[in-house]
Amino acid sequence: MAWRRRTEIPADIRLSFVRSLYGNRATLWFGMLAHVIACAVIYLKTSNVSFLVFAGVFTVIALARLFDMSRFDRAALANPTHQQLNKWEFRYLLGASAVCLTLGSMCFFSTYVVKDSFAELASLSILLASVVSIVGRNYASRAAVVVMSAGSLIPVLVGFVLAGSTFHMIIGFLLIPYFLSNIQMANGLREFLFAAVMGRRELAVVAGRFDAALNNMPQGLIMFDGEGKLVVVNNKAVSLLQISPDTDLTGRSLQTVLRYCTLHGLFPRSKLENIRTLIDDLLTGRRERDLFQFSDGRYIEFSCNQRRDEGAVLIFEDVTQRIEAEAQIQHMARYDGLTGLPNRMHFESLVKSLLARRVHGKRMALVVLDINDFKHVNDTLGHHVGDQLLQKLAERLGDMDPTRFIPSRFGGDEFVIFMPDSGAEADIAPMMNQLLEAVSGAYRLSDHSVQVEVNAGVALAPVSRFDLQSLHIKADLALYEAKGSENRSWAIFEEAMDVRYRSRQRLKNDLRGAIANGSLKVVYQPIVSTQSLRIVSCEALSRWDHPELGPISPADYIPLAEEMGIITDITRFMLEQACIDCVNWGDRIGVSVNLSAIDLKNSDITHIIASALRNSGLPTNLLEVEVTESAIISDRNKTCSVLQQLKNAGINVALDDFGTGYSSLSYLNTLPLTKVKVDRSFVHDITTDRRSLMLLRGVTQISHEMGLGVTVEGVETQEQLALIRGAAGADLVQGYLLGAPLPANAISTLIDKSFPLPEESRKMLPTAM
């Protein structure tokens, strides 16, 4: 195949051309028979034995070629290489060329040697007939056509030239264009067939790709012709419609397919006509898209594109996951993910829709409810247990009469309940008692049983003046009042609550200004040695004199500062001022500063303390920080880390209000402490109750055995002081008996003085021992 480089032709296509050379073997038999008969006839005419030899050569060549062809049939050519094909093409070329060369030689022999006109005519006729077959049989190999043509033509041309006749020479040379035209015909036929084969292959590739793309579409596809008959159906369509893969739908109508789907339960027979109408609307262009739900719950979305030949392409896909996801998104947008109750936005829409249907004049109520000490549940049992509590409380709310109570969760442990018909203010009490009784009580959470109490605030309003936002604020204020009261779990909003709320907000603003302006002051309460009765340290306490309201108790503004997130600003001021004042006392006594829970969560607190020490020049051993158990329990790991850093720096760490928490004794072993400050509740009745004294002595002894110093707070009488010095064995005492909080300059005058012990107290001391 020299018309193009053989390696450029795909091997499988080239194999088909080589097979065409070895095919149609009947022509070999006919050719051999014609050649042998022609030789026999010429022999009878000329009596020249050479023509019998020619007949024998033709027979041998034909048999050899047939044998070679049988070997070709047995050759392993499933995945042929060009080297294999070259070999077989060359073998064929040898046999075919031998036939043509023998034919040409016979013509030469008849023209030049025998010079018999009949022999010459017969030989030339057989040769020309064979030349015609060269094109028909051997077009697939250009080399074969050229070599066979040359093998036939050259001996004839030589014979005609050697014959010496001008006419023979003219006829001989006229054979050249004839042979060349045969070669061109063979080339043209070969190129045409090659182009056809390649075109068919490319068409097959395109068709295969189209079929692969069609049957791997994520959508089902059905193509209709102009008469509404199915002409193309892909695999996805068969799968979505649950049609057997063996069922041939080509040429069927839409009605037939729909009946088939009905028989197999895809949709009920009652909906057949409705679905047919909807799909007809799609096919005719009256609708572009539609959604169907099948009996098995699947959602199938159909769309249609019109074709130019008046047909249509129906495309459909399973959108069940999308529909379910959209429904899930809608649910998530409307309902709380943890409890399943309506969220704020959906709750507002529910309330608005109910308001639109209510009779004017009726009273409605909005309730804000939260869980007492919910943070303690999270901190001690874990957030997963807290989540369980919220879920179970929501279940109890959901079990209540939905016509009277419409619950929602706004976040955290805040639940908001709408009562569409609360009646008069006097009628709200039984409804609220029913509500709180339902959600209060014992909850079984994992392996824990938790006793839950709730508080609630209620705001009432008639339908005509029901404003959800303002009522929510009022219910919040009522909730705040209920949480601050010890004898009631819920409260109804009153205008006085709003006044108190506004006062509280004003106090917050004023406190922020007092911190910024440096209006806070520091006073110090002496801490006295039980042995020498001299001051060894002072506790720094903040004070705020409001310009209009007068002195504000720390119990009022410290929680405000924590709520506002500015408590660390107060702590920084206290540390800086306390360190400066302590330095001014001449390094003779130390100073103690309280840290809040928020301070201990602040990663900068160690830097704040270090800065105060560095700026004042106070030795670290003269500074003590006090932390309460409530501050520790909020984040125990972080608290331990901060306190350890302070202790490593040489700063004393005291556990304040010891004995008032949940498990104070465990902290003596786990926290990096240097001192324990026993709460005043241990001291209150030690003079009258021996058990209280024994308890105080036990705490002191345990602390001493663990290497901790002990300070007893709340000492207010000489009798208490005498017992603490003697029987209790504490190291330090603090209380109003030994001094109220004083300014820094007043402390300076008390440093070198000892507190006198009255005579009657001295008399009690041996007895108590």
Q: Of 186, 207, 228, at which residue does a domain stop?
A: 207
**Three-state DSSP state, 522:** strand
Q: How confident is the model at residue 577 (pLDDT cuts 50, 70, 90)?
A: very high
Domain identity same for 459 and 543: no
Does the pLDDT at position 88 exceed 50? Answer: yes
Does the pLDDT at position 766 exceed 70? Answer: no
In a domain, 148, yes or no: yes
pLDDT given at position 573: 94
Domain identity same for 189 and 224: no
In a domain, 640, yes or no: yes
Domain identity same for 85 and 122: yes
pLDDT given at position 121: 84
- Residue range of the domain that includes 316: 220-324
Give the chain's domain count.
4
Does the pLDDT at position 761 exceed 80? Answer: no
Across 76-90, 146-160, 200-214, 521-535, least confident range: 200-214
Span 101-107, mean pLDDT?
85
Does the pLDDT at position 308 exceed 70? Answer: no
> CA nearest 732: which of 704, 760, 706?
704
HEC readout, 227-289: CCEEEEECHHHHHHCCCCCCCCCCCCEHHHHHHHHHHCCCCCHHHHHHHHHHHHHHHCCCCCE
Domain identity same for 702 and 681: yes
Q: How confident is the model at residue 765 (pLDDT cuts 50, 70, 90)?
A: very low
Tell the burial category of 135 from Cβ atoms under 10 Å away from its Cβ (0-12, 13-18, 19+): buried
Amino acid at 477: L
Across 67-76, 237-246, 448-457, least confident range: 237-246
Does the pLDDT at position 570 exceed 70? Answer: yes
Q: State the Cα–Cα distance between residues 672 and 280, nearest whole angstrom.
A: 82
Domain identity same for 315 and 399: no
Phi/psi of residue 362, nearest 5 degrees: -75, 150
Distance of CA 656 to the CA centre of its chain: 47
Residues 6+ apart with CB under 8 A from 736: 715, 716
pLDDT given at position 222: 82
On whether the CB atoms of residues 294 and 267 are closer than 8 A, the answer is yes
Domain identity same for 342 and 297: no
DSSP β-bridge partners for residue 220: 316
Q: State the Cα–Cα distance between residues 644 and 663, nearest whole angstrom.
A: 20
Read off the CATH number of the domain in which 456 is found: 3.30.70.270
Does the pLDDT at position 254 exceed 60? Answer: yes
On whether the CB atoms of residues 273 and 250 are closer than 8 A, the answer is no
Q: How confident is the model at residue 712 (pLDDT cuts 50, 70, 90)?
A: very high
Q: State the Cα–Cα distance between residues 756 and 740, nearest whole angstrom.
A: 16
Domain identity same for 304 and 397: no
Q: State the Cα–Cα distance between residues 757 and 747, nearest whole angstrom.
A: 20
Across 130-139, 231-240, 259-268, 634-643, least confident range: 130-139
Q: State the Cα–Cα distance between residues 745 and 327, nearest whole angstrom.
A: 72
- Element containing residue 695 per DSSP (H, E): helix 690-705
On whether the CB atoms of residues 245 and 265 are closer than 8 A, the answer is no
In a domain, 717, yes or no: yes
Read off the CATH number of the domain in which 732 is found: 3.20.20.450
Domain identity same for 477 and 625: no
In a domain, 294, yes or no: yes
pLDDT given at position 541: 95
Q: 10 Å Cβ neighbour count for 513?
A: 10
Angle at CA 346, nearest 5°, toward 340 and 351?
A: 115
In a domain, 721, yes or no: yes
On whether the CB atoms of residues 263 and 279 are closer than 8 A, the answer is no
44-75 residue pLDDT tens: 888 888 888 988 888 888 888 888 888 887 88
- Cut 0.75: pTM above it: no
> CA nearest 489: which of 479, 501, 500, 474?
479
Q: How confident is the model at residue 325 (pLDDT cuts 50, 70, 90)?
A: confident
Look at the block and give the residue holding tokens 């007949």.
Answer: 55
Amino acid at 638: K
Does the pLDDT at position 283 exceed 70? Answer: yes
Q: Of 161, 176, 207, at which residue does a domain stop?
A: 207
Does the pLDDT at position 359 exceed 70? Answer: no
Q: State the Cα–Cα distance between residues 191 and 184, nearest whole angstrom.
A: 10
Residues 6+ apart with CB under 8 A from 218: 236, 317
In a domain, 515, yes or no: no
pLDDT greater at residue 405 or residue 327: 405
Does the pLDDT at position 760 exceed 60? Answer: no
Span 585-605, mean pLDDT?
90
Q: How many CA atoms lie within 13 A of 385 on its CB side?
A: 18
Domain identity same for 198 and 85: yes
> CA nearest 490: which of 430, 418, 411?
430
- Region at 369 (left for phi over 0; alpha for psi -120 to 50; beta for the rest): beta
pLDDT given at position 241: 79
In a domain, 500, yes or no: no
DSSP assigned state of 726: I
Q: Output the six-digit token pair for 421.
A: 């018909």
Q: State the Cα–Cα distance between residues 272 and 262, nearest whole angstrom.
A: 7
Residues 6+ apart with CB under 8 A from 282: 288, 289, 290, 302, 303, 304, 312, 314
Rounded (10°) angle between helices 344-357 and 320-334? 80
Q: State the Cα–Cα distance between residues 739 and 747, nearest whole angstrom.
A: 10
Q: Output the six-digit token pair for 655.
A: 């556990």
Q: Output the six-digit token pair for 541.
A: 């306490």
pLDDT given at position 607: 94
On whether the CB atoms of residues 121 and 158 are closer than 8 A, the answer is no
162-197 residue pLDDT tens: 776 777 777 767 777 767 776 776 666 667 666 666
Q: Of 149, 174, 207, at which residue does a domain stop?
A: 207
Domain identity same for 410 and 485: yes
Q: State the Cα–Cα distance between residues 335 and 345, nearest whole angstrom.
A: 9
Q: Output the six-digit token pair for 9.
A: 């032709």
% the chain with pLDDT above 70: 89
Domain identity same for 383 and 290: no
- Element containing residue 482 per DSSP (H, E): helix 468-483
> CA nearest 456: which of 424, 423, 431?
431
DSSP assigned state of 359: P
Q: State the Cα–Cα distance between residues 140 and 191, nearest whole angstrom.
A: 9
Domain identity same for 269 and 361: no
Most confidently modeled range among 25-39, 353-367, 440-454: 440-454
Amino acid at 719: E
On whether the CB atoms of residues 316 and 219 are closer than 8 A, the answer is yes
- Element containing residue 686 per DSSP (H, E): none
615-669 residue pLDDT tens: 999 999 999 999 987 777 767 778 888 999 999 999 999 998 887 765 566 777 7
Most confidently modeled range among 379-383, 512-516, 520-524, 682-686: 520-524
Q: How confident is the model at residue 751 (pLDDT cuts 50, 70, 90)?
A: confident
On whether the CB atoms of residues 18 and 73 are closer than 8 A, the answer is no
Phi/psi of residue 231, nearest 5 degrees: -115, -25
How high does pLDDT run on average in the chain?
A: 82
In a domain, 513, yes or no: no
Phi/psi of residue 525, nearest 5 degrees: -105, 130
